[in-house]
Structure 1
Amino acid sequence: MTDKDLDTLARARAQWRWRGADRPPFADIPSQGQTSVWDFPRPPELVREVREVLVVWGGLEIARTRAAWAFRETAHPPTFYLPLADVERSLLRPAGGGSFCEWKGPAQYWDLVDGARRLERVAWSYPQPLEGAEPLAECIAFYAHELSCTVGAAKVLAQPGGFYGGWITPELTGPFKGEPGSNGW
């Protein structure tokens, strides 16, 4: 990376007010056994997920693993990155475009294709992640909006909004980035 790239990256990383050190007054209070997404750190952390993660599309199993990485960042439900070795790769097709995360780097998007069925830009990966996100190089994440996803025995809900890919499980409290009015979080 050039000095200009590093400066741009540093500015992007510095913009966030909430960093997991304290909860804002509007954060939900977790009940016993729950975790507030406002306690997740920024910079984010990668944590190995020991529960089974399952992704199903209309009855077709796309992925099943006990080796996922949970990417946990302040205000977000975790995004689960599944090892490509545990994904039915024959169903993946590269999609156009990309994006850039100040923590993970340049993203590549993927479609799911099964015969005539197609879900566009339903997954993404970081084949060349930034320093600190190296374990994601051989992983892929899925948006849960049109898929049936579980973590352990719990069915997940998709993170609100059309951009973020976190999965909401019952042990989490929010509010969650992506909800109306959350742009400044």
Structure 2
Amino acid sequence: MPPKLNVHNFPRPPLLEKTPRHLQIKWNNQLIADTKDAYWALETTHPPTYYLPPDSILLPLTRSSHKSFCEWKGAATYWNITNPGNGGSQEVKNRIWSYEKPTKGFESIKDYLSFYAGPWDCYVDGEKVEPQPGDFYGGWVTSDIEGPIKGGPGTWGW
């Protein structure tokens, strides 16, 4: 069993580093992303947020008009994805994001893609993840993550 990672020991500002973990995303039982060449961002009170290389995404993406701004990484671009399987197309909007011009210290994730943990199933080393509480942040919670996590009711001001 891997050692526990306490989110209260993660740094602020966030630490960005390569991770050797095997990341997979499945949608309606179809593999849509697969990589062992990702980054993770570790930030105090947040589970890791993973950034996957564009060539690991197996379905085409279309740019969304939605935008957001991260105080650490800069302006985010959002993406839509369509799954043509299971008897009809299903499009999901604004659940994938990237940084086309990330700020200093985060240049490595330029054009890498991060997925919210849903509506698809996300896996880290074969373990299905739980989404970070609150549906605002995009962290992935695995069994090796511990400590109170930001995102749920009453945690906004942490």
Q: Is the aligned partner of 1:174 residue 2:147?
A: yes
Higher strand share: 2
Matched residues, percent identical?
Answer: 41
Match of 1:76 among 46, 50, 69: 46
Match of 1:129 among 102, 112, 117: 102
Runs of 4+ that moved beyond 3 A? none
TM-score by length of 1: 0.79
Contact 2:59 2:83 (8 Å CA) reproduced:
no
Which consecutive unaligned segments of at least 5 residues does structure 2 have?
none
Tell me the SS of whatever aligns to 1:138. Answer: coil
Q: Is the aligned partner of 1:108 residue 2:81?
A: no
Deviation for aligned residue 1:35:
1.4
Q: Is the aligned partner of 1:43 residue 2:43?
A: no
Partners of 2:126 and 2:71 lie apart in 1 by 32
Tell me the SS of whatever aligns to 2:52. Answer: strand
Deviation for aligned residue 1:142:
0.3
2:18 alignment partner AA: R
Higher helix share: 1
Partners of 1:119 and 1:85 lie apart in 2 by 20
Match of 1:63 among 22, 30, 33: 33
Match of 2:138 among 155, 165, 183: 165
- Radius of gyration: which is bigger? 1
Deviation for aligned residue 1:114:
2.4
Count matched residues. 153
TM-score by length of 2: 0.92
Which consecutive unaligned segments of at least 5 residues does structure 1 have?
1-31
1:93 alignment partner AA: T
Pick 1 or 2: higher relative contact order, CA cutoff 8 A, min separation 6. 2
Partners of 1:126 and 1:89 lie apart in 2 by 19
